[in-house]
Amino acid sequence: MIEVPNLSDAGAKHVPPCLPAEHIQSHKKCYTAGWGTTSYGGSTAHKLQAVGLWIFDRDYCEDTNNAGDLDDSMFCAGVPDFNGDGQTDGGKDACQGDSGGPLVCENEGQVVLYGVVSWGYGCAAKNNPGVWGTVSYAIDWIMDTMNANAS
C-alpha cells in the first residue's frame, strides 16, 4: 500500500481505484496493466501494457485451468472461447513481472480494484486463464493496516 499525501494534487486522471464492497461477479469484463514480460520467458515491456479480460466462474476455472481447486482467495480471468473450439482463447494475459499488479473493473461508474495478479501456467496460454488474488477476501486486513498506519 502507498500513502498518497493529497489526492487533489494528482488530478482527475490519476485517482486510485476504489476498494470493493463485495466479491467480483463472473462474466464481467475487467482490465489489467503492467510492465512485465510480453511473452513467456520474453523481455519486459518498455511501455505500460494493458489488456481487457473476462472473469470466469470458479467451476469453469477449475475445469479448464489444471489448477485444481481454487479457494475463496482466488479467481481466474482470461479471454472467452470466441472461436468456438471449446477452450478459452489465448493471447492476452498478465505475465512474469506483472505479479501484484491490478485487475480493475468498472462498477456503477467507479473503477474498483477487484484483483491482484497472482499466477498462471505460462502466459496467455490457450485454455489456461490467469489466477488472481481476490481483494475483497483481504479487505479486513487492508482496512486494519490502513487504519493502524493512518497519520
In a domain, 44, yes or no: yes
Give the 3-state secondary structure of residue 58.
helix
Number of neighbouring beta carbons within 10 Å of residue 58: 15
Model confidence over 29-71: pLDDT tens digits? 999 999 999 888 899 999 999 999 999 988 888 887 666 678 8
pLDDT, the chain, mean: 87
86: left (phi over 0), alpha (psi -120 to 50) or beta: left
> Which of the four pLDDT bands, split at 50, 70 and 90, describes residue 114?
very high
In a domain, 71, yes or no: yes
Nearest 5°: phi and psi at 136?
-65, -25
pTM over the 0.75 mark:
yes
pLDDT at 70: 84
Q: Is the pLDDT of residue 77 over 80?
A: yes
Tell me the residue range of the domain where 34 lies. 26-148
Domain count, the chain: 1
Whichever domain contains 95, its CATH number is 2.40.10.10
In a domain, 3, yes or no: no
In a domain, 9, yes or no: no
